[in-house]
Amino acid sequence: MNAALYAFDADAEPAQRLADALGAPLRRIASHAFPDGETLITVQGVSQVALIYRTLDRPNAKLFPLLQAADAARRAGAGRLVLIAPYLPYMRQDMVFAPGQALSRDVLGRLLGEAFERIVTVEPHLHRTRDLSAVFGTAVTVLAAAAELAAVLTPSPDLLVVGPDAESEAWTARLARGLAAPYATFEKVRHGDDQVELVLAPEVLVAGRPVVVVDDICSSGATLIGAVGQLKARGAARIVVAVVHALVSAEAERRLRGAGADEILSTESCPHPTNRVSLTALLARALAQEVAP
């Protein structure tokens, strides 16, 4: 089948690596901003299968141009549209927590589900969501990044893997398996955007051990700053923070280092100075069938 990868200029580097791995051409999505802030989106060339690569940190700015790109590709003749969104935003608002709130996960799902035949993503926050395809009304392929993270971490006999809350248990357990290490998770209560209370059972032995703290998302940084601070206070020998989606500001990253993080690394799902983990091979395996002749 005739397939091409499409990307906005800002995503050109990871998209080019993915295009090379797939043996597919990379085509440009051009964005023109009018003086009033509206955008005009134009896609280059025509292909039957259009794979659109889009990082979705800062989602409110990126989502409308993405929907315009899908429309442009469809009008240019694409019969199948596949979105590659390594980070899927708004998955944490997966229920109405207080009366009057929007259910953001479903709002996003309706928009993307209508525009794309398939969505490929990495470690979306699925704490309460069993079947994302059902919510989005389109095929959603969910990929785990534990093997990619484990590959850049150094295993050691007394290593401990720690998740900062009960919600992190699934990916903490996967990473611990990959590193052949035991794991533990904090209990977390959130009091506000950047106020969290964390408790790690006293019987978890931390003193003198290297620790990897892993989470799916680092946003305000409050969760990981709290976890790292406590692990440091309990005598952890060396603390490495591994996150899948790094959304954290430079200031919060500085506070995380100040709390005791010796190293911080993230996947390239969101462009960030801590990116050290490539997702190219993982995504290419999931997409191989889309470019098969």
Min separation Cβ 163 and ligand R5P, Å: 9
From the list 123, 109, 108, 4, the residue with the least C-alpha distance to 52 is 4
Cβ proximity to ligand R5P: between 106 and 167 the closer is 167
Contact 105, 136 (CB under 8 A): no
**In Å, how far are 19, 23, 77, 123, 133 from 50, measured between CA atoms?**
12, 14, 9, 23, 20
User: What DSSP line would sit under 24-91, residue for residue?
Assistant: --EEEEEEEE-TTS-EEEEE-S--SEEEEE---SSHHHHHHHHHHHHHHHHHTT-SEEEEE-SS-TT-
Alpha carbon distance 274, 255 (integer Å): 14
Min separation Cβ 84 and ligand R5P, Å: 22
From the list 25, 112, 106, the residue with the least C-alpha distance to 71 is 112
Cβ proximity to ligand R5P: between 217 and 277 the closer is 217
Cβ proximity to ligand R5P: between 58 and 75 the closer is 58
Cβ proximity to ligand R5P: between 22 and 264 the closer is 264
Structure tokens at 228: 């790292």
Strands 118-122 and 39-43, by their bridges, are unpaired
Min separation Cβ 111 and ligand R5P, Å: 22
Min separation Cβ 121 and ligand R5P, Å: 15
Taking the alpha carbons of 233, 234, 237, 241 in that order, is the dihedral positive or negative? negative
- Side chain identity at residue 90, one-letter code: Y
Min separation Cβ 192 and ligand R5P, Å: 10
Cβ proximity to ligand R5P: between 253 and 290 the closer is 253
Cβ proximity to ligand R5P: between 132 and 217 the closer is 217
Place of tokens 């901003």: 33
Min separation Cβ 92 and ligand R5P, Å: 6
Cβ proximity to ligand R5P: between 31 and 104 the closer is 104
Alpha carbon distance 28, 44 (integer Å): 6
Strands 160-163 and 210-218, by their bridges, are parallel
Site of interaction with ligand R5P (CB under 6 A): 92, 125, 164-165, 167-168, 196, 215-223
Cβ proximity to ligand R5P: between 125 and 209 the closer is 125
Kind and range of the H or E element at 204?
Answer: none
Min separation Cβ 40 and ligand R5P, Å: 34
**Residue 173: is it exposed, middle or buried by C-beta count within 10 angstroms (0-12/13-18/19+)?**
middle
Min separation Cβ 58 and ligand R5P, Å: 15
